[in-house]
Amino acid sequence: MTVVANRGTTNFEFLILDWDLKEKYYDRAKYIEDFYVAGEYKKVIEQEKKFESSLLSENLITKEIACDSTGDLKEDALIRLITLYQALKQISINSGQIVKSEFKDPLGEEQYQTNERKLIYIQTADNSSGNWKVYAESEKIGDATADVDPDPLNYQPNSEYLRKQAAQRINSYMTTSGVPYQIEWAELAYRPKDKQNPWFRDKEVHKVLKRSGYKKNTDVEGNEWWKVSLDVAKQAISAVKENREAIAGPVIDKSKIILRPEQVAAVEQTKKVFNKKDRMLWNAKMRFGKTLTAYQLIKEKKYRCILILTHRPVVSDSWFEDFGKLEMDKAGYMYGSKEKGMTIEKLISRNTNFVYFASMQDLRGSSQVGGKQGQKNELVFSTDWDLIIFDEAHEGTQTELAQNVEKAIKKDNTKILELSGTPFNLLEQYSEDQVFAWDYVMEQEAKLRWATEKPDEQNPYETLPKVNMFTFEMNNKEKYADESRSFNFKEFFRVKDDGKFVHESDVNKFLNEISRPSETNYPYSTEKFRNQLRHSLWLMPGRAEAKALKDLMDKHPIFGTEYTIVNVVDQDDKEITSKDDPDLGRVRTAIGDKPWETKTITLTVRKLTTGVNVKEWTAVMFLNNTTSAMNYLQAAFRAQTPYSNEVQGQKTNAYIFDFAPDRALTVMAESASINSGIGKRNTLEQKQKMAKLLNFLPILGIEGNKMRTFNVDRMLTQLKKVYAEKAVRSGFDDDSLYSDALLTIDPEAAKLFEKLRGIVGKTKATKKSKKVSINEQVLTEEEYEKAQKAKKKKRKERTPEELAALEKERQAKKERKNAISILRGISVRIPLMIFGMEVDIAKDIDIETFVNEVDDVSWEEFMPAGVTKAMFKEQAKYYDPEVFIEAGRIIRSRAKSYDDLTYTERTKQIALLHGTFKNPDKETVLTPWKVVNRQLVSTIGGLSFYNDDFSDTTLEDKTSLHWVEQPDSDDIFKNDGKVLEINSKTGLYPLYVATSFFYKKQMQFIDDNLGKINKHDEERIIQEILRDNVYVIAKTPMAKTITQRTLAGYKNWKTNIIYIKDLIDLLKVDKSLVVDKLKKEFGIMKFDVVVGNPPYQEDNSDSNRDQPLYPHFYDLAEMLSNKYSLISPGRFLFGIGATSPEWNNKMLSDDHIKVIHFEQKSDMIFPNTDIKGGVAILYRDSNRALGPIGTFTISKELNYILNKVEKKGFNPISNIIFGNSSYKLTETVFKDNPEFEKRVSKAERKSLGSNALVKSIILCKILYNVLPVSH
């Protein structure tokens, strides 16, 4: 039997295209085929018979297929495999699938195989014996895979090398059939003139023969035997190489662009959306062809003025080149930019259709949108754009400046099209119909579908390599584990001041491990693997780590001798890379023009991971800690860029190597779930998505000493971690926290939601919640499944029942969203409380534990007023229990891991974690870390974590950490200084104070000990500070434990945090009672300074007006210290609001108070918080005259005037001029000058205050007897 061979893929892949067929038959069929590839032919026969019996029992085949033994075990196994293939193919066709592909002899794929070269051979049967007359005057044209050989002579047409390669292939089947053969010709199946598809298959030669009028030899089994001579067969090969469809036919122009089906679909969907809406997102992977497709949209919609805007200017080249490819000029368009084409001035002056390219960096620098580069780009901002395209839209478009740019350029009728391959930060802004998705799985599915349904046609997806992921566990994992129990590459590759690794011995062991033969089969462990993985990209934790690794690798016996190591971040790590970037040039130089002769490893952090392609790369290795799916996927798919040359062949596989398996699975799970839609009821859909991902991007990991493929169940488990991570990142302000039960809200539940809406809706900090309708008809599981099946059908093919199920599901999803908008007001309060809970770190916090662990006082403080524990328990079923537990575990384990850092570094990380927590209520506002810094830096000084304008924690890629000295800094941060926070909610104020004390004492210790300090010394210093320098008042028990966790983590360190029961009531009655409590608890009643953010108001159920609380805290602070730095509502500064007039006057007339900062818009200080009258930072020092505030204004101009007016010796204008009634004209004036009667009205006849010009004329005549010259 003769069959064409196929390496590395399975004959049964067509089953993957239908979920039911895949679930029933694929794994079993592939299992049998794998036995054949492994040479276990008896098992093939045995298992195929069992499979056939099961198909018979299901009546899927009518009778057992007879397979007589040939006497050759391999031949019998092959016949059985073909028999199974034909049966499953027919079953698939009967179910409605199109399957036209033919069976191919399966060959195993070698590990880490990256390229495949095809050769075309011509053979005939040796009929010298006269026994093979059926083959007479016939030639077989087939193809085979050729091994890579660096000798160019071996690639000459009909070389001995190529003939041997062909013979190896022919021997695998011709010998079993007993037919003697002759190889008459062999050459590479390569056509250099076709840039899109340079490598071709035997079917294209067969097509040329058919079009040229030649016939197959139907007497011979198989499709490759033709009744032609050797010369005709060679002519047919030449015709294919020259892009001719027949031997004597003309050369076909293959440069004309024809859009692929998915590109046409994107255009059509966008046109439909733009009929009703103004925005559209293309969530399309690299190599989708977004520029060509966008140009097609422009042509079809006949847009006149189009702006292409991007944060990554390097993509301008593709927009310019594709403008020409799609012949936009013939469609009446011109192209412009600052670099290429016409200027915008010329484009507008020509009054023509045009496309203009601009960079976001350039536009946001314009002063019109708040930039600092002066007024520029006026025409860009004033042009009435029909369409604006944001390319690489996930980058730099969500910042305040970028949003200002969009507002400035978008006009009323402008359409917005955003393009991104990783739009994780954009998806929530779009409804489902506004997103066109095309990802890697869809691309590979289209590739397979084309090969299955149209095997004789050129596959437009053929050049797109398959991606394979291998995950490995690092040795010494426990030694370097982070808070999520994942391997911490930052610590593993930590660098000393001298530029060498702290753990150099372990790093060397790692390099040795991955480059020596072992059962693990690490990617660089054999010469064969290294010859396949010639050029790769390694991602490092940082620049210093990359530099140290290059130094080590250059000395390594394998990497140092076989590879050129290129470190592209030894100068900088700017993510923006230009086409002419010198570092990209260094990579290309190292690879050279003969990449089959060189080997390179490129080390980077972020550079070259987006925007540019190095097509020779076949692998990406992750040795960093990134958990961002966006950043990970952008880098991971760098190696999937199509590539081919005559020597190496066509890139067929690309590889991702990750030494953090959990991270790898999490990212891939997130990528697979990104388009699953709203709600997690669709577990079937998620399972299908995961299965497809693993079909087209197999993920393998080590179990024991063998590589195992991860299954769907493990990926779905990982997906729960993805949801939990999202919940933590958003501060529980994310849909992923909730369960499927929200799709089945019954009438009773709807009533409870309405009650909650009435409570939560009062909280200004939460998003506006919507009503949950009372619907008697709950969506059932059966209806849900029916809706899912209906989605796969065309609209016309859906039954009335399916349409009803779809409408019911749509309504259920709408109600789910409304319910979430209500629950969100409760959920956002949970993370901060979990963070502070005194529960053993090893114990999980489920919802029941959460409710039980929060005391009633704290519950009332942190939850919306009126939401009881009982009400919350009734809603518990709407939370996904696994996600809730995992999210809590992430928060707490992350917080605990920070205990191992230096205290200053720990402060940074704790502050970042607090940044995810939301404001608990409108009465008590959580103070952001930035505001804590602004307030204390500008009043008492200390260690600032921000730059001078508090906009960032970095300055030119370096930390902004610096000491700020204020007049009172030395007095406050002295060795025995004592600082009190007056109302702690999160502990960030005392954390800032403690870290400032630590910084000062640490510096002093280093000076005293010749520049040395160890971990033990650092811990001793911070414990002394928490014991002797920092004091805190907490309003609730939970606030106390949260502050303890913030200051001391999970270490049992003594702190001075006091919970004062009924604090507010005590302050109202007699503030000295609180002073006495503090004296009793702390042994002191005077502090060097009091800091904080007091509670603002309390609900007054008897009145429509909430009562202010912060005056009590100002007064208390004044009793406890000569100095205070407090932030509060600022209405009292204007003498208005609910604070008493007496208290207002006291504050405004105090000589020792100064307004350090005032912000009219409160949400600039406290996001999503509306505080009427603005927010003020006040500083008081009874030892210095800072005020009084007096009349407060927010206008600089008014303040300037006010300061002048209030100065001693000020001479008011009333002393200089007089009113218009002080002097009057007499009758004598009119007697002497009768002409004046006509110049003034009767009412103001004698007044000097009427028309100024007239009066000046009169005065001149009276005083000087002359008229002004102008008159």
- CATH value at residue 1157: 3.40.50
Q: State the pLDDT at residue 676.
A: 46
Last residue of a domain, one of 83, 106, 129: 106
Same domain, 468 and 422: no
Do 765 and 824 meet the contact criterion of CB atoms below 8 Å apart? Answer: no
pLDDT at residue 387, rounded to an integer? 96
Question: Does 457 reside within a domain?
Answer: yes
Residues 101 and 136 in one domain: no
Contact (Cβ atoms closer than 8 angstroms) between residue 891 and residue 831: yes
Within-domain flag for 806: no
- What was the pLDDT predicted at 1249? 57
Q: Place 404 in a pLDDT band, splitting at 50, 70 and 90.
A: confident
Q: Picking from 453-457, 699-703, 930-934, 1175-1179, which range would have the lowest pLDDT averaged per residue?
A: 699-703
Q: What percent of the chain has pLDDT over 70?
A: 88
Let me know if residue 123 belongs to a domain: yes
Residue at 926 is within a domain: yes
Q: What is the Cα–Cα distance from 121 to 143, expressed in whole angstroms?
A: 6
Token pair of 731 as six digits: 């501060």
- Indicate the range of 54-63, 239-248, 413-422, 887-896 predicted with least confidence: 54-63
Q: What is the pLDDT of residues 302-349, one digit of tens each?
A: 999 999 998 776 677 788 888 988 889 999 999 998 888 899 999 999
> Which of 382, 411, 438 lies at the terminal end of a domain, its last residue?
438
**CB neighbour list of residue 388: distance below 8 Å, 6 or more residues apart:** 306, 307, 308, 309, 406, 409, 410, 414, 415, 416, 417
Give the pLDDT score at 1056: 96
Stronger pLDDT, 1245 or 620, i.e. the higher one: 620
pLDDT per residue over 617-676, tens digit each? 999 999 998 878 888 888 888 999 999 998 888 999 999 999 888 788 888 877 776 544
CB atoms within 10 A of CB 431: 10
979: left (phi over 0), alpha (psi -120 to 50) or beta: beta
CA angle, residues 533, 539, 544, in degrees to nearest 5? 125
Q: What is the pLDDT of residue 1260?
A: 63
**What integer pLDDT is reported at residue 1248 of this predicted model?**
62
Q: Which amino acid is at 422?
A: T
Write down which residue in 385, 410, 438 finishes a domain.
438
pLDDT of residue 763: 46
The mean per-residue pLDDT over the stretch 1186-1199 comes to 80
What pLDDT does 759 receive?
Answer: 76
Report the pLDDT value the prediction gives residue 1219, as an integer from 0 to 100. 64
- Predicted confidence (pLDDT) at residue 17 exceeds the cutoff of 50: yes
Please determine, for residue 279, whether its predicted confidence score (pLDDT) is greater than 80: yes
* Dihedral of the alpha carbons of 1231, 1235, 1239, 1243, in degrees to the nearest 10: 30
Which pLDDT value is given to residue 427? 79
On whether residue 907 sits in a domain, the answer given is no
Instruction: Report the amino acid identity of residue 628.
Output: S
Three-state secondary-structure class, residue 216: strand
Q: With bands split at pLDDT 50, 70 and 90, how would you rate the model's confidence at 726?
A: confident
Residue 1271 has pLDDT above 60, yes or no: no
Residue 65's pLDDT is: 61
More confident residue, 1052 or 1265: 1052
Confidence label for 2 from pLDDT (cuts 50, 70 and 90): very low
795 in a domain, yes or no?
A: no
Mean pLDDT of the region 190-218 = 89
Read off the pLDDT of residues 113-171 as tens digits, 9 standing for 90 and up: 899 889 999 999 887 777 788 888 899 999 988 887 767 788 889 999 999 989 887 87
Query: Same structural domain for residues 1079 and 1171?
Result: yes
Residue 1251 reports pLDDT greater than 90: no
Q: Is residue 265 pLDDT above 80, yes or no?
A: yes
Tally of domains in the chain: 7
- Note the pLDDT of residue 833: 93
Asked whether residue 680 carries a pLDDT value surpassing 60, the answer given is: no
CA distance 690 to 35: 26
Instruction: Return the pLDDT at 693.
Output: 84
Beta-carbon neighbour count of residue 604 at 10 Å? Answer: 24
Q: Are 910 and 1046 in contact (CB under 8 A)?
A: yes
318 and 432, same domain (yes or no): yes
Residue-level pLDDT at 276: 92
Same domain membership, residue 715 and residue 737: no
- Indicate whether 723 and 735 sit together in one domain: no
Average pLDDT, the chain: 85
Residue 1245 pLDDT: 67
- Left (φ > 0), alpha (ψ -120 to 50) or beta: where does 707 sit? beta
Which has more confidence, 127 or 202? Answer: 202
254 in a structural domain: no
Instruction: Mark whether 923 and 1050 lie in a shared domain.
Output: yes
Among 686, 684, 681, CA closest to 810: 681
pLDDT at res. 630: 83
Predicted pLDDT of residue 679: 44
d(Cα 1121, Cα 48) in Å, to the nearest integer?
88
Beta-carbon contacts of 162 under 8 Å, excluding residues fewer than 6 positions away, are: 119, 121, 146, 154, 155, 156, 186, 187, 188
Q: Of the segments 248-257, 360-369, 478-487, which one has the largest average pLDDT value?
A: 360-369
Q: Is the pLDDT of residue 786 over 90?
A: no
1233 belongs to a structural domain: yes
Q: Compute the distance between CA of residue 846 and CA of residue 1199 in angstroms, rounded to an integer.
A: 56
Per-residue pLDDT of 1170-1184, as tens digits, reads 888 899 999 999 999
pLDDT of residue 1265: 58
Q: Are residues 921 and 1067 in the same domain?
A: yes
Q: In whole angstroms, what is the distance from residue 564 CA to residue 647 CA? A: 21
My answer on whether 403 and 273 are in the same domain is yes
Distance CA 694, CA 242 (A): 39
Residue 293 belongs to domain with CATH number: 3.40.50.300
Shared domain for 102 and 119, answered yes or no, is no
pTM of this structure: 0.69
| pLDDT confidence bin for 178, thresholds 50/70/90 | low
Within this chain, do residues 64 and 126 fall inside the same structural domain, yes or no?
no
The CA-CA-CA angle for residues 212, 218, 219, to 5°, reads 140
Q: Please, which pLDDT band fits residue 767 given cuts at 50, 70 and 90?
A: low
Q: Which domain holds residue 358?
A: 261-438
What pLDDT shows up at residue 1? 41
pLDDT above 70 for 778: no
CB 523 within 8 A of CB 619: yes
pLDDT for residue 1270: 44
In tens, the pLDDT along 1041-1065 reads 999 999 999 999 999 999 999 999 9
Does 73 lie in the same domain as 202? Answer: no
Residues 150, 647: Cα–Cα separation, whole Å: 7
- Cα-atom radius of gyration of the chain, to the nearest Å? 39
